[in-house]
Chain A
Amino acid sequence: MATIKVTRPKLTLLEKIYLPAVIKGLCITFMHAIRSMLGKTPGANENFNSSGLGVTMQYPEQKWDDQLPDYYRGVPALVTDEEQRERCVSCQLCEFICPPKAIAIIPDEIESDDPWAKVEKRPKEFDIDMTRCIYCGMCEEVCPEQAIYLRKDYAMTGLSREDMVNDKKRLYEIGGVRTGLVNKWNEIK
């Protein structure tokens, strides 16, 4: 290893007095403060949706939701397919793989007079406890029916523990409809 000898820079008398350097520094911060108030500092432009003071965004008013990537892992939710059929077949794979045990499913049989009777099972209850969920996305990966997805919502709040448990109805509300992908139950296709 080569040794690099660093010599201290020779200071001039003015630099040794220190006071001119302080005044120079004060000028720099003052000019920066002026530019900051005028919204001319780097980052304070429309590229970042910022509030004009640097790159800072003021959260509830300014969001960056349109910049979220497609693989963003937000709140997990259930989806229905193009014919309003709930995709989940209650195989419980997500319940078993869920690392923090946030998912609880009670399976139910589909009656024989139902048009989708041959699917055989659907969830009676499907609860995801958002106080436990770690947004790992394993449920989405393990689902053979592509029924559970991590959506881009991230602002999950509630005033009690019960509020933070998403039941089946809410999960479908968040998830909405997804078309395509799994067609095995559709006789027409």
Chain B
Amino acid sequence: MDPFLVLVISTAVKIFIFTFVLILPIIAYSTYAERRVSSIIQDRVGPNRVGIPLTLFGFKKDIPLSGLLQPLADGLKNLLKEDLVPDHVRKFFFTIAPALTAVPAFLTLCVIPFGSQITVFGESIKLVIADIDAGPLFVFAIASLSVYGITFAGWASNNKYSFLGGVRSCAQMISYEIALGLSVIPVLMVFGQLNLSDIVQHQADNGWLLLPLWGEGLTTERILLLIPLFISFVVFTTSIFAETNRMPFDLPECETELVGGYHTEYSSMKFALFFLGEYAAMIVGSALIVTLFFGGWSVGFGLDAAISEMTFGGLIHLGAFLAKVIGFVIFFIWVRWTVPRFRYDQLMKLGWVVFFELALVNIFLTAGIMMLVN
């Protein structure tokens, strides 16, 4: 077959499957997981009722699924609700703001490697939508665009609480982006490249970044490097928390001071889009942490070469990747119900005084270790 045609078709199929078949359901079910996990931590029950309402169609019994269809019901509810646009808002910006928060989160998905590769009709296809040589940079560039959505939402709402929420969120995201970008530099120094698929392949061969137990990972250099890499993992993860406006950094939403923050004036599907964007950003963040620090799709322990040999070994890798991402999403939820939220000045201090410096020093520490060992 014509290689160009293969590229176009395979990319289209990959875009469809990764976004609509894999990530959208994971987003929907992470809202369900959020509610169930938090209810377990807080001694509650959570949504456990929604099943298939067969009685509505004349059958005798419903099929109870212990609330597993809750996300579907929520989505349907949001679609059917009245889309209320207040008179005092800037209509244009008010309308595009939700899309501007949701779109960047989905766009960043395209450089995340979901699995190694599968062979279909004799063609070996990499399970990544865009295999570009600037993966992390692309993610940071696109992900920071979601600041615009939040700022527009806060400003166009023409409401002082929304405005303050938008300003807070904007300041928070911009501050933590610096720590985010700097903390990833030691990682890139270790790998020596920016292509996320190659980074994952390297980890599959030589040990995950934070678990160097096989391949070249057993050298003194890698074991010494664990110290700066652990620091950059902590800084990176915390910055992702702040970037995605999750607890303990969820200052843009604050009932006591700011009502609902930047989405106070939004209703129905527009509100749902903010929600979707937030959770999509959380999942992309988790995917990035997994890809950079925990070996992406790699199963680990030197098994990956054998799995890659298989025709559909890529699907096993895909499963491993999704399992890791879901684990991280649950970690995000778990942290939410553990750590009390920060005060705004504490948040800014942590970002600018602690993490910025820590990430800078960490770069020199990594460079020093690499220089001394070689």
Contacts and interface: CB of A to CB of B under 8 A. Distances in A.
Interface of A: 19, 22, 25-26, 28-30, 32-33, 36-37, 41, 43-44, 51, 53-56, 58
Interface string B317-343: 000000000000000001101110000
Contact of B41 (A32, A44, A56, A58): A32
Contacts of A25: 338-339
The 10 closest A-B pairs by CB, nearest first: A54-B43, A25-B338, A29-B338, A56-B45, A53-B45, A33-B41, A33-B40, A36-B40, A41-B43, A26-B338
A54 B44 contact: yes
B43 A44 contact: yes
Contacts, number: 43
A53 B338 contact: no
A26 B42 CA distance: 14
Contacts of A51: 45
Interface in B29-62: 37, 39-45, 48
A58 B334 contact: no
Contacts of B42: 54
Interface residues of B, number: 15
Contacts of A37: 40
8 contacts: A22-B338, A28-B338, A29-B334, A32-B41, A37-B40, A43-B43, A51-B45, A55-B43
Contacts of B21: none
B37 A33 contact: yes
B39 A53 contact: yes
B237 to A, nearest CB: 11
Nearest to A30: B334
B72 interface: no
Interface of B: 37, 39-45, 48, 234, 334-335, 337-339
A58 B45 contact: yes
A53 B43 contact: yes
A69 to B, nearest CB: 26
Contacts of B40: 33, 36-37, 53
Contacts of A32: 41
Q: Which of A25, A28, A43, A51 is packed against the most chain B CB atoms within 10 Å? A: A25
Given A26-B334, A30-B334, A33-B37, A56 B339 contact: no
Contacts of A22: 335, 338-339
A61 to B, nearest CB: 11
Q: Which of B39, B40, B48 is packed against the most chain A CB atoms within 10 Å? A: B40
Contacts of A55: 43
B327 to A, nearest CB: 13
Nearest to A41: B43
A144 to B, nearest CB: 47
Nearest to A32: B41
A28 B338 CA distance: 8
A19 B334 CA distance: 15
A56 B41 CA distance: 13
Nearest to A51: B45
Contact of A56 (B37, B43, B234, B337): B43
A25 B48 CA distance: 27
A105 to B, nearest CB: 40
A53 B42 CA distance: 9
Nearest to A21: B339
Given A43-B43, A53-B43, 9 more contacts: A28-B338, A29-B337, A30-B334, A33-B40, A36-B40, A41-B43, A51-B45, A54-B42, A56-B44
B39 A26 contact: no
B348 to A, nearest CB: 16
Contacts of B334: 26, 29-30, 33
A22 B336 CA distance: 11
A43 B43 CA distance: 9
